[in-house]
A and B are shown apart, each in its own frame.
Chain A
């Protein structure tokens, strides 16, 4: 079945370590997104990519990096520069490259805990 796969589902890391969260989709969607969700706050956009080899900063990009070498894959690296990395991370995709559609398809999320 088509969908978005995020891994790992749970991740524990020591402070100061970089971590990479995987996001793969087989929906043939053009645009992909990374969101962060914290208790008591709405989803916040970290980065998005509308086409391969191109990506844009969202509202809270500091301390994060991404790549889009393949249409199917959009990994997120949480660097040691991110001050408060413990959060629930959600990857999403949409069919159109223009980003005009709001019908996002989400993965199941990755919960990162920094000790």
Chain B
């Protein structure tokens, strides 16, 4: 089962910031939060990841709460090409304890409107 909870859909106006929330209340201290997005019928694309501190790259910013139970992905100036499904994922140890894997949920379908 996914360790994250996201709203199923969101809307955003073109040019405005898109703030996508994610709850991961059962996250462990050494588990990273990853964000990917998937444009319809294409392979997912890595966006950003973090552990405790806020992170920023050319695509987005990731804000993680101090208790690490939730995070927000921010797309500062959304464009129509940002319309996609956004996945918030926790990277966990596999059952054997010798590798890590990503647990994918259903994501948030973001629609950027003109």
The answer to whether A55 has its CB under 8 Å from any CB of chain B is: no
Assembly CA distance A95 to B43 (angstroms): 17
Assembly CA distance A44 to B89 (angstroms): 13
Give the residues from 68 to 115 in chain A that come closer than 8 angstroms, CB to CB, to chain B. 88, 90, 92, 98-100, 102-109, 111
Total number of A residues with any Cβ neighbor in B under 8 Å: 25
* Interchain CB contact under 8 A, A102 and B104: no
Total number of B residues with any Cβ neighbor in A under 8 Å: 23
Assembly CA distance A50 to B81 (angstroms): 33
Chain A residues positioned under 8 Å from B43 (CB to CB): 4, 90, 92, 106-109
The answer to whether B21 has its CB under 8 Å from any CB of chain A is: no
Cβ of B49 to closest chain A Cβ, rounded Å:
6
Q: Of A41, A99, A107, which one neighbours B100 at CB under 8 angstroms?
A: A99
* B44-68 to A contact mask, C-beta < 8 Å, 1/0: 1110010000000000000000000
Q: When A100-B100, A102-B32, A104-B102 are in contact, do A42 and B2 touch as well, CB less than 8 Å?
A: yes
Instruction: Determine which residue in A40, A88, A104 has the highest number of CB atoms from chain B within 10 A of its CB, and name it.
Output: A104
Q: Chain B: which residue is nearest A43 at the CB level?
A: B104
Known interface pairs A103-B34, A109-B43; 4 further A-B residue pairs with C-beta atoms within 8 A, sorted by A's residue number? A45-B101, A88-B41, A98-B99, A102-B89
Interfacial residues, chain B to chain A (CB-CB below 8 A): 2, 32, 34, 36, 41-46, 49, 87, 89, 91, 99-107
